[in-house]
Chain A
Amino acid sequence: MARPAVILVGADKGGVGKTTVARTLLDYFGAHNTATRAFDTESPRGTLKRFHPAVTEVVDVTSVPDQMKIFDTLGNAAAKVTVIDVRAGLLSPTLQALNDIGFIESAKKGQITFAVFHILGPSIASLQEIAETSQFVGDASYYLVKNHINDTSFFEWDPGTYNSYFKQIKGAEEITIPKLNEMACEQVEVASVPYVSFVANKNAKGEAANYSFVLRGYVRHWLGNVWGEYDRVKLADLVSPKIENNVRQVAG
């Protein structure tokens, strides 16, 4: 059996599209037939849970009972991949907590696959966070995600500053999430369904829906690009070395 994988999706500030990335990850593993569960730390009401209610549980990742719920079940949960959507600003405290309970240590020993998706905001404050988090990540696969989905401006970083932070994490990789048309974005929000369901024209119950074909086309194209990025960094191999890597076609 493949060893369990934990993917932490976090950012130090809100509104950078953390949950969007978590959603694309759930869709991606779904398309690869990899059973996945998710924890949403946006308690008490999680955005991730709204889109993926069947696999998502809302937790407080800093509370001990909830930590037990997540980490004590890693070995025996049916889901091989655990995605944790970490609330804004809690990435460092969460990593600290994981360090304290010895999770980082087990990841180092190779008992658990551990990956961090650090969603970068358009400001330099976000990079400051890298310095803080880098001390905890150990051997985790670290992805710096430039998320363009809901912004039109470019990242205004001085490349020198950026690189100096970037280098602090050994083997960190960059992922770029392209922009999705605002109207398409909005309609998926309104529909409250996973991106793949929207593309396949299905509502939350799996029944035929009536979304605009053009908007579905935009989402399909965008999701294809996002998954292309995940393929590029060989995400599927990371969580389960054997799974096929050719599932690029979204349903429909």
Chain B
Amino acid sequence: MPPSRADARAASGKVMSFRYSVTIVASPRPRVGKTLLARLLTDFYIHEGRSVEAFDLNSGEGTLAQFMPEHATASGIADIQGQMALFDKLIADDDTTKVVDLGHESFESFFTLAKQIGFAEEARRRGIAPAILFVITPDRTSVEAYSRLRSRLPQAALTPVHNEILGPAQHRDKYPTTGAGTAPVRLSALAPGLRRYIEKPPFSFSDARLADAKGIPIEVHIELQRWLRKIYLEFRELDLRILLADLQSSIRLQS
């Protein structure tokens, strides 16, 4: 078997910047907008022309896999086969950006396993930047889960996400960001009247014929695009911050 690129990189001894990321959308709470965030992120990567694969750990209705059947796979980590199907894929050397929509039921087991098998270290070793988008809410469960994540997976860029539809975030100080490329991401609220247009799966924001195919009126479409642009800008900035942090750390290593 020829050596993989990751091994070749390791052998060359060169410090390489990451080539793509694995982003985990998480919160221990249900109904805080995780799937919407995962949909937007997946669509953002498609929009950017990157090859993207999403993994959906939710059950029930309105899941990522139902919204984006072409890009998202329904996954489970209850048994070892499922764990292998997910994690082996996440660190695979295939130049594909990955998004994980972590259901609140899988939150604990996912991060326990990730820590146990050394997911973040292995990802970094292979030039993959692991990131966690954490939807913040004022409850103690979330605050504690967030602070535990920081110590459990210190190698992953942990970014709080303020979903504006959940109200003004006066609890932001409970979610401190830790240097390396992290600042809160803002998910602005979509005008209430527009929500119904995007809530019926399948649905992809990057669909070029969106207005025609979904029967969306032109003024709604324009409003939707404006909203999308705001969010994509947030994602782009997040990407840049991660890239910058990565460059800084490789410069430190080389000097």
Which A residues are within 8 Å of any B CB, using their own CB? 181, 183-184, 207-210, 212-218, 220-221, 252
Q: Does B7 contact A208, Cβ atoms closer than 8 Å?
A: yes
- Whether B88 lies near A214 (C-beta < 8 A) is yes
The reply to whether the CB of B119 lies closer than 8 angstroms to some CB of chain A is yes
Q: Is B1 an interface residue (CB 8 A)?
A: yes
Residue of B3, B122, B125 touching A208 (CB-CB under 8 A): B3
Inter-subunit contact B119/A252 (CB<8 Å)? no
- Known contacts A207-B1, A208-B4, A252-B125; decide if A213 and B116 are in contact (CB<8 Å): no
In the complex, A207→B125 CA distance in Å?
18
Q: Contact check: which of A183, A213, A220 meets B87 at CB < 8 Å?
A: A213
Complex interface: chain B residues within 8 A of A221 (CB): 116-118
| Distance from A94 Cβ to chain B, minimum over Cβ atoms (Å) | 38
* Interface pairs (6), CB distance under 8 Å: A208-B1, A208-B4, A213-B122, A220-B117, A221-B116, A252-B125
Q: Is the CB of B117 within 8 A of A216?
A: yes
Residues of chain B from 103 to 128 with CB closer than 8 A to chain A in the complex: 116-119, 122, 125
Query: What secondary structure prevails in chain A residues at the interface with B?
Result: helix
The answer on a CB contact under 8 Å between A212 and B116 is no
How many positions in chain B have a CB within 8 Å of any CB in the partner chain? 16
Bound-state Cα–Cα, A184 to B118, Å: 15
Say yes or no: A213 contacts B3, CB within 8 Å: no
- When C-beta atoms are compared, the residue in chain A nearest to B7 turns out to be A208
The answer to whether A212 and B125 touch (CB under 8 A), given A181-B80, A217-B116, is: no
- Give A181's nearest chain B residue, CB to CB: B80
Q: How far is the CA of A208 from the CA of B126 in the complex (A)?
A: 14
Roughly how many angstroms separate A207 CA and B4 CA in the complex, as a whole number? Answer: 11
Given A207-B1, A208-B1, A208-B4, A215–B84 Cβ distance below 8 Å? yes
Q: How far is the CA of A221 from the CA of B122 in the complex (A)?
A: 14
Identify which of residues 1-17 in chain B touch chain A, using a CB-to-CB cut-off of 8 Å.
Answer: 1, 3-4, 7
In the assembled complex, which residues on chain A have CB atoms less than 8 Å from the CB atom of B88?
212-214
For the complex formed, measure the closest distance between the CB of B88 and the CB atoms of chain A, giving whole angstroms.
5
B residues in contact with A220, CB < 8 Å? 117-118
Say if the beta carbon of B142 comes within 8 Å of chain A: no
- Inter-chain CA distance A216–B1, complex, in Å, is 18
The complex places the Cα of A215 from the Cα of B84 at a distance, in Å, of 8
What chain A residues lie within 8 Å of B116 (beta carbons)? 217-218, 221
Distance A212 CA – B116 CA, assembled complex (angstroms): 15
- Closest B residue, CB atoms, query A216: B117
Q: CB distance B118 to A214 under 8 Å?
A: no
